[in-house]
Structure 1
């Protein structure tokens, strides 16, 4: 079971969201309608609050953590790539965080922005809406075109189909079933 209460703080998960059994959700985490949380993801709100807006996905091995008394907000229809880390940041609606991106405390990512894979957004970095951010340390390197935003929407839509499909069709296979005969 991937859900844990801590000091009276409990997760609240919309019935249409999907959290993989190998993910971990601790404390005051709120997952909206049609969210997807993949295997190995960790959402840890032991002393703060994490809110994930409807239709957002957190892929395998992503981590979200919050400092005591603070809040992390991941807006609606966000796409968090494999291994990304969000620590004390605000991510507005329809943002794509590339694989392995790191967002430090106080970062704000404006709506419909794209953060490149492996980018490191240092503490307090502000990303204007519809910006492309990349590098270590990250900097704005361009603007999101309608073509890029359309591609992002299509990718997010695939992940938005997973909660229903996984609830209906994902089944664990016993190890002995896999043995070669």
Structure 2
């Protein structure tokens, strides 16, 4: 469901995206091509001066929450996966080709391209360079902790790419169902 925010801004969603009828999208939100927004996802840019931008080929899976504070932005760059139940809170920039795992929290940070934040991790008030992996359950809340992160393995690169591909296929599948109905 699409709603205006108190500033009367409406979401702008590509005709080539697919958004579940149980998802809630509010306010100054832009969603690109081939984006999959699953059931019960919530994307809100309702505070004054806030915005959310979702790039092409992203997926926002079931129960994901994205919200931006007043005078801040959330930017999720292209080919990024936000897995089931994660929270992305602005101010925040997530680079291209990233993965944020189940139940993770990402807030007030910059996550470099091709980075994986694995399941139940927390990333807050840091800048993560490209190509790193935050292990399951790890809390990264100081720049010193970032220095210890390992590079993404080829297996994890294949995994994150397969998630993007699977969800772009879902966009096409659901859109085809809608045209057949």
Q: Normalised by the size of structure 2, how large is the TM-score?
A: 0.88
Unaligned segments of structure 1, at least 5 residues: 171-181
Q: Name the structure 1 match of 2:79.
A: 77
Give how far 1:152 is off.
Answer: 1.3
Counterpart CA distance in 1 for 2:8 and 2:156 is 42
Match of 1:166 in 2: 174
Q: Deviations over 1:2-50 (max 9, x none)?
A: 1001222110000000110000000010000000000010000012100
CA distance in 2, matches of 1:150, 1:137: 24
Once the two structures are superposed, residues 54-92 of structure 1 have per-residue CA deviations (whole angstroms, 9 ceiling, x without a partner) of 000000000000011111000000011000000011101
Q: Secondary structure at the match of 2:28?
A: strand
Deviation at 1:164, TM superposition (A): 1.7
Distance 1:121 1:151 in 2: 21
Quote the Cα distance in structure 1 between the aligned partners of 2:163 and 2:44: 26
Q: Distance in 1 between matches of 2:39 and 2:13?
A: 16
Matched position secondary structure for 1:154: helix
C-alpha deviation, 1:110, in angstroms: 0.5
Give SS of 1:168's match: helix
1:150 deviation in Å?
2.1
Q: Classify the secondary structure of the residue corresponding to 1:104.
A: strand
Match of 1:3?
A: 2
Write out the 4+ residue segments of structure 1 that deviate beyond 4 Å after TM superposition.
none
RMSD of aligned Cα (Å): 1.5
Q: How far 1:146 sits from its partner (Å)?
A: 2.9
Structure 2 CA distance for aligned equivalents of residues 5 and 34 of structure 1: 23
> Could you tell me how far apart the structure 2 residues matched to 1:32 and 1:142 are?
31
Determine the C-alpha separation between the residues in 1 that align with 2:138 and 2:81.
Answer: 21
Equivalent residue, structure 2, for 1:87: 89
Once residues 13 and 137 of structure 1 are traced to their aligned partners in structure 2, the CA distance between those partners, rounded to angstroms, is 33
Q: Deviation at 1:147?
A: 3.2
